[in-house]
With several copies, the nearest count.
Chain A
């Protein structure tokens, strides 16, 4: 796949888990996405600001450390408040504190406005393909101008 799909990604809140973030970044890049990776410990504001800057198709949020729910409150509303009406929202990782029933977690985050919710054990290929398809469909319905720069995060210092 070679696309001009642009995503902003990052690990939200005070979460420092950086290994998955690096793996995910690489996987999106391999699938041809333009990836703006903010790394770990991003606030909602960081993600929204970057998404506006690069005119992102989607924001891909990770949370591993258990505070996902606390950190994501109002995220979807904040996006709209900031004029991001069309951006798709994704989240994945260890989304609850402790071993919980997946359906409950998924429902919770869907209700919060995320377009899809992924567990840490979901197949990455499949997840990225789903996101790819969502974006394609959305673009087909709402054609918008597309940003130029490829993988801008390479210019940014991200570790």
Chain B
């Protein structure tokens, strides 16, 4: 079987569906009709799509923390706390065993958590909780729920959560595979995510609008914006083909104000253009992730990183922001730490939103670079697949036209090496097989050279390791005489 970017037929879908639902006991009782009735009975404020529309109309930046614990009661308490602290959209982070379909292991973790009254899982095992548990959770919370996970094959999970009234699902065949798995083929993960998207498309046909969100930040570590944006747009196109209409495209901050704003503008405008070009009618929103890489251990320093994110998210007119907490470097945050993350984010968002009209930052240079690069990548991927986006994607990863830095997958070349330039922006030291022209490549090289001169230091592995830790260290440079704006 060769996977293609074609809408799954009802036949294909329902045949697969049977197997999916049988893969674990909690899948067996699902019925689309019954789920439709349940979803249809939910009020508007439980719908991601509606809440996002509202926010877009009012230029409001929605706040979504992260969080999942093993037990139902624990998850309820967590989400209630999130709401109390000011969060707008609810996450349910799924545990790592469930993400790999190891439901037996998560079952064990769940029962151990129930006996020890302490979550031994790093997330909520939604498949094990099944329709009953997931609906109970949904019914007890007044804001819309989204599953956030990292499953290369999240089909049963998608079935269960949507049937339980969770109106958004994060992930995608690329973004929930390459950064999250070592051995899963793209062929398989893309195919499995076509199923998840088709499921949403089927609900859409029934008049139920569910939101889908590819995972923007990928490895969260120095990913050049054009690479993550290209992948976000490709995943958007793949979802659109399966009938998804309500789409949030995300981006993970590189910790550089100008590059981050430019990246968000580029993501929004290119995605809009490209969806239109390929004939998809999409209700698009954008998501800004506060810094996703290595965090400072000191909580006071973590607050600075969080606040930098909030500032930039407002400046880039994102519709939703995904939040970190002061515990990020240490481990799964407590509810209290999560609430602190929400509060500090909300406060910064409010202050900046109140004055945003007066702030004019010039990002044109950076915007042009990202636009050009992203277009080059997407065009080449399509080209590589002879017009088919799925084949293009698979082949492009194989030959390095698509290449995600630091990713664990054996299906990723890992030849692209990012590095910061003299002004802190993320550039590319090794291009691998990225389809960039010499104009672009020279631009990167020049800027990297400026840093080499400035720091009087080689652009080598050692420098890259420094860059991985740059945001947790604060300073991006070793011996930089801080160049401050001269007036």
Contacts and interface: CB of A to CB of B under 8 A. Distances in A.
Whether the complex brings A and B within 8 Å at their CB atoms is answered: yes
Contact of A40 (B327, B408, B412, B414): B408
Contacts, number: 90
Contacts of B183: 41
Contacts of B330: 94, 98-99
Interface in A116-156: 120-121
Contact of A98 (B108, B333, B406): B333
Interface string A52-66: 000000000000011
A99 B122 contact: no
A98 B334 contact: yes
Given A16-B182, A18-B408, A70 B109 contact: yes
Interface string A10-22: 0001111111011
Given A41-B183, A94-B331, A159-B410, A18 B122 contact: no
A98 B435 CA distance: 42
Contacts of B412: 159
Contacts of A158: 410
Contacts of B294: 19
A104 interface: no
A97 interface: yes
A77 to B, nearest CB: 19
Interface in A50-90: 65-67, 69-70
A18 B96 contact: no
A1 interface: no
What size tier do the contact residues of chain B reach? 35 or more
B341 interface: no
A159 B96 contact: no
Given A19-B294, A99-B330, A39 B122 contact: no
Given A19-B219, A67-B122, A99-B327, A159 B332 contact: no
Nearest to B178: A159
Contacts of A22: 406
A13 B334 contact: no
A92 B108 CA distance: 24
B179 interface: yes
B483 interface: no
Contacts of B82: none
What size tier do the contact residues of chain A reach? 20 to 34
Given A18-B219, A23-B468, A41-B183, A97 B119 contact: yes
A110 to B, nearest CB: 19
A14 B100 contact: yes
Contacts of B327: 98-99
Given A65-B96, A65-B122, A96 B182 contact: no
Nearest to A158: B410
B203 interface: no
A100 to B, nearest CB: 7
Contact of B182 (A40, A66, A69): A40
B195 interface: no
B316 interface: no
B397 to A, nearest CB: 11
Interface in A1-51: 13-19, 21-23, 26, 39-41
B99 interface: yes
A111 interface: no
B114 interface: no
B369 interface: no
A154 to B, nearest CB: 13
B352 interface: no
Contacts of B334: 98-99
Contacts of B108: 70
A98 B150 CA distance: 19
Contacts of B120: 67, 69-70, 97
Interface string B403-435: 000111110101000000000000000000000
A111 B409 CA distance: 33
Given A14-B102, A41-B408, A120-B329, A19 B180 contact: no
Given A41-B408, A100-B331, A159-B410, 13 more contacts: A14-B102, A18-B408, A19-B221, A19-B468, A22-B406, A41-B182, A41-B183, A67-B122, A70-B108, A98-B330, A98-B331, A98-B334, A121-B329
6 contacts: A18-B407, A40-B408, A67-B97, A97-B331, A98-B331, A121-B297
Interface of B: 96-97, 99-100, 102, 105, 108-109, 119-122, 150, 179-183, 219, 221, 293-294, 297, 327, 329-334, 337, 406-410, 412, 414, 461, 465, 468
